[in-house]
Structure 1
Amino acid sequence: MLGEEIKSFIKVWLIVLSSLCYCHFIAKTVPKGTKRLSFLLPVVCLFLLLPLKLNSPHLGGLTAFFIAWLANFKLLLFAFDRDPLNTHLSLPLFVTLACLPVKIQQNPSSIPELNKGISSSSSVNYAVKGLLLGIILRAYDYVEYMHPGFIKLLYSLHIYFFLEIVLAIGAAVVQSFSGLELEPQFNEPFLSTSLQDFWGKRWNLMVSSILRPTVYEPTLRFSSAVIGRKWAPLPSVFLTFVVSGVMHELMFYYLGRVSPTGEVTWFFLIHGVCLTVEIGLKKALRGWWRPPWVVTGPLTVGFVLGTGFWLIIPQFTRSKVDARSFEEYAELGALLRSCSERVLRVLWAK
């Protein structure tokens, strides 16, 4: 089963790479704007369908995130010659930036938060997180003895460690081949001081950087003309979370192939409302009073985990993503053991 899934995975990504070569060629001959968009829309539709060819929670989930969300949003920006893609990129770099969650770092000295994240994300840091992920996977053998709340915490940590490690490995591979400085995808979200800090500067920064030019900035320009620059960020932030909620519903559909129930969207609507209120209060108070991190930090992390336990984590069990993932780990372990035994037999024969 895993072997067939890997074959399908290779076929899907060969189609992805061919499609992106087409996009790169089109950009050289078709001017930016609605005309280029019309040539790119078939690829966008194709990228929405391709993840349905995969059933693996890991291979299919990552592919859906990479192409149905990130690559499609990048191509929509590219239609109008907006970053991160542009016509001056070489074909290999264009394909890499389009289909992988990486972004070239611009003006490193001007973004200390990201530099801080890069310095802290050392090899030791990732080794510790990899070890913790291994411990979590081993702990699943004893879930029948655990409290349901603790199991949800394990799932949450599993998702975070898995995403950070996989995205960091992808960025490291790209950086080793291209020599470019790439922005980190996470910046220690457990150190967040507020929802604004969590969503804007620490959690899944690639998504933030894609939603900003595609949703937030156009809405901000429109809102500024209607309600003024001071309060324009409020509806812009909320609409960004609405779009994020819809895209996360789509990601969960790819993972489980079950009809959406709306909980995932509600999670992002709740966070959108709370973040909008937080920004509004900050503007109203104008820095007059700012609670210490020892108060805001635990409240922020607790709120994210609490709402995640309530609305996000149950979706993994409802769609049996957790059970299928465990089966996949077992298949992968059996495959690795089989391969190692074959290698040992060959070496022993020599």
Structure 2
Amino acid sequence: MEGEMKNFIKVWLSVTISLCYCYAIGKMASKGIKRLICLIPVVCIFLYLPLCLTSVHIGGTTAFFIAWLANFKLLLFAFGLGPLSSHPPISLPLFVIVSCLPIKIQNNNNHNSKPNPSQNNNPSPGAREGPLNYAIKGLLVAILVQLQLAYEYSDYVLFVHPKLILLVYSIHMYFLLELILAASAAVARATLGLELEPQFKEPYLSTSLQDFWGKRWNLMVTGILRPTVYKPTLHIFTRVTGRKWASLPAVFATFLVSGFMHQLMFFYLGRGAGLKPTWGVTWFFVLHGVCLAVELALKKAVTGRFRLPRIISGLLTVAFVMVTGCWLFFPQFTHCKLDERAFEEYAALGAFFRNVWSSFVRACKAK
């Protein structure tokens, strides 16, 4: 862990220096191909830096923030788009923070304008849900961790179906992400006065794949893929197929890129265990891209003449996501041994804090 923390500091120091360079390039190079050429070396560096880390939590989070989030924002910045190209220009510290973190910039320039109720009453997801909601989710996470520990160390492992364990992992991941993001949003709001971008919006209430992927699940990724992949592809195919059907190849292209990026994240995670990718994650997103394109085509064909009851479409959507997830997506967690490595990291972190506490107690007694 000590070596990993040193590498972590070196990686983020390199990220900060690189983003300072990008900020300077934004001042000197006009938007377009010229600025893109100047930023390409940084994009390559950000793809390399996660290889310096091997842990699940530190390495995985860093890989997402710099290899995916920061790189896609820098590609938008090259053409004068995205949050890094706001007007008036943002400061250097804010540029660094917004580049690699899911930060949402609040526009408070129009002091003389009338208040907008839709803006003032639309807090972040963390602010909307009360402490009781998160207390319940925290309790569920604790129960799920105990179930996973019981599965790992129990003598009755053979009586538990592996798919059920994958289901427990998926629910655990969802609730844990919500709690981490809520805590991060509270810290960012209290210390920096900034809001985190929304991440989830009750995905278990989805009524279609379009509703699930576009409005409820992983909205942070949706928000970065829409301007970088979906809109350019939509613009290109609008000239070829017309506006009505251009959204279908645009949706598929978005899911294809998402599949490759998710596979890259699992490559970074699996590298710590010396494993090669199986490409199951990519096929998961290719499958959902095809199915969502078919769903959109059917909606355009029937044009509102037929619609399933909400409860039936909701159950079918959630069931389809869970079945395909347990088939293609969630097995990657066990393939990369993320569960075993995560518990090892928890144990190492606990041992570290116990050693720190023991050293503190000994120092107090010596005095």
- 2:283 alignment partner, SS class: helix
* CA drift at 1:110: 7.2
Are the equivalent residues in 1 in contact too, given 2:126–2:186 (CA < 8 A)?
A: no
Alignment partner of 1:309 is 2:326: yes
TM-score normalized with structure 1 length: 0.92
Partner residue, 2:139: 131
Output the CA distance in 2 between the equivalents of 1:165 and 1:52.
27
Are the equivalent residues in 2 in contact too, given 1:20–1:95 (CA < 8 A)?
A: yes
Are the equivalent residues in 1 in contact too, given 2:214–2:222 (CA < 8 A)?
A: yes
Q: Count residues with an aligned counterpart.
A: 348
Matched letter for residue 98 of structure 2: L
**1:275-295 deviations in Å (ceiling 9; x for gaps):** 111111122222222222211
Partner residue, 1:104: 105
Alignment partner of 1:293 is 2:310: yes
Matched letter for residue 208 of structure 2: S
- 1:89 alignment partner, SS class: coil
**1:45-79 deviations in Å (ceiling 9; x for gaps):** 00000000000011000111110001000000001
Tell me which moved more, 120-129 or 14-23: 120-129
Alignment partner of 1:271 is 2:284: no
Output the CA distance in 1 between the equivalents of 2:31 and 2:167.
46
Partner residue, 2:95: 94
Are the equivalent residues in 2 in contact too, given 1:102–1:206 (CA < 8 A)?
A: no
- 1:232 alignment partner, SS class: helix
Give the structure with higher Rg (CA).
2
Matched letter for residue 142 of structure 1: A
Matched letter for residue 230 of structure 1: K
Are the equivalent residues in 2 in contact too, given 1:185–1:204 (CA < 8 A)?
A: yes
Partner residue, 1:204: 218
* CA drift at 1:5: 1.0
Q: Residues 136, 238 of structure 1: CA spacing in aligned structure 2 closer, same or farther, 3 A cutoff?
A: same
Unaligned segments of structure 1, at least 5 residues: none
Partner residue, 1:64: 63
Alignment partner of 1:222 is 2:236: yes
- 1:231 alignment partner, SS class: helix
Output the CA distance in 2 between the equivalents of 1:151 and 1:3.
32
Are the equivalent residues in 2 in contact too, given 1:168–1:184 (CA < 8 A)?
A: no
State percent identity of aligned pairs. Answer: 59
* CA drift at 1:229: 0.6
Tell me which moved more, 34-43 or 82-91: 82-91
**1:92-114 deviations in Å (ceiling 9; x for gaps):** 111111111233367882799x7
CA RMSD of aligned residues (A): 2.2
**1:201-221 deviations in Å (ceiling 9; x for gaps):** 111111101100110001111
Are the equivalent residues in 2 in contact too, given 1:33–1:79 (CA < 8 A)?
A: yes
* CA drift at 1:152: 0.6
Alignment partner of 1:232 is 2:246: yes
* CA drift at 1:186: 1.2
TM-score normalized with structure 2 length: 0.88
Matched letter for residue 312 of structure 2: V
Are the equivalent residues in 2 in contact too, given 1:186–1:205 (CA < 8 A)?
A: yes
1:1-350 equivalences in 2 (<5 Å)? 2-86=1-85, 88-104=89-105, 109=118, 117=125, 120-143=128-151, 144=157, 146-257=160-271, 258-346=275-363
**1:242-298 deviations in Å (ceiling 9; x for gaps):** 000011110110000232222111100110011111111122222222222211222
Are the equivalent residues in 2 in contact too, given 1:57–1:255 (CA < 8 A)?
A: yes
Output the CA distance in 1 between the equivalents of 2:40 and 2:224.
18
Are the equivalent residues in 1 in contact too, given 2:104–2:194 (CA < 8 A)?
A: no
Matched letter for residue 74 of structure 1: K
- 1:85 alignment partner, SS class: helix
- 2:104 alignment partner, SS class: coil
- 2:244 alignment partner, SS class: coil
* CA drift at 1:326: 1.3
Output the CA distance in 1 between the equivalents of 2:333 and 2:241.
40
Are the equivalent residues in 2 in contact too, given 1:12–1:53 (CA < 8 A)?
A: yes
Unaligned segments of structure 2, at least 5 residues: 108-115, 152-156
